[in-house]
Amino acid sequence: MVHADDGMAGEGYKLDASNRPLVVPRPGGPMNALGVLAEQVAQGYVGDILGLPVFVDASIPINQGTGTNQDVIVVARKEDLWLWESNVRAEAFAQTYASNMSVFVRLYNYASFQPARFPSPSR
């Protein structure tokens, strides 16, 4: 989800017909709460909706659809998203530019991301 002006923070101030908040400020509140509202941040974890953790990120578009008012919501099982990263490596090569009294420096690491471990539902 994307943090919008009236996103999850706006839901936290809405009430149902019995004047109970739709989104409670902490887990363990009313049994039938729609969601749990955490600290409001620009990106990262902001709470729960229907028992699912909600993370917001500014890189997800919020102007989709014909009226540019459609938000994108991604639901995923975190255990199926695998990320591998190596340590950052630094190397210096003095011989490459020795005639110019310079040094060639290289800084790199390797990364791999596997988002579709199970691309279709298993039965």
pLDDT in tens, 27-85: 555 555 666 666 778 888 887 777 778 888 888 888 888 888 888 888 877 788 889 99
Asked if 12 and 56 sit in the same domain, the reply is: yes
Asked if 68 and 90 sit in the same domain, the reply is: no
46 or 6: which leads in pLDDT: 46
Residue 18 has pLDDT above 60, yes or no: yes
Asked if 66 and 84 sit in the same domain, the reply is: no
Question: According to the model, what pLDDT value does residue 48 have?
Answer: 77
Instruction: State whether residue 80 is helix, strand or coil.
Output: helix
Asked if 97 and 38 sit in the same domain, the reply is: no
Asked if 66 and 115 sit in the same domain, the reply is: no
Can you give the pTM of this predicted structure?
0.49
Asked if 43 and 85 sit in the same domain, the reply is: no
CB 24 within 8 A of CB 32: no
Asked if 96 and 112 sit in the same domain, the reply is: yes
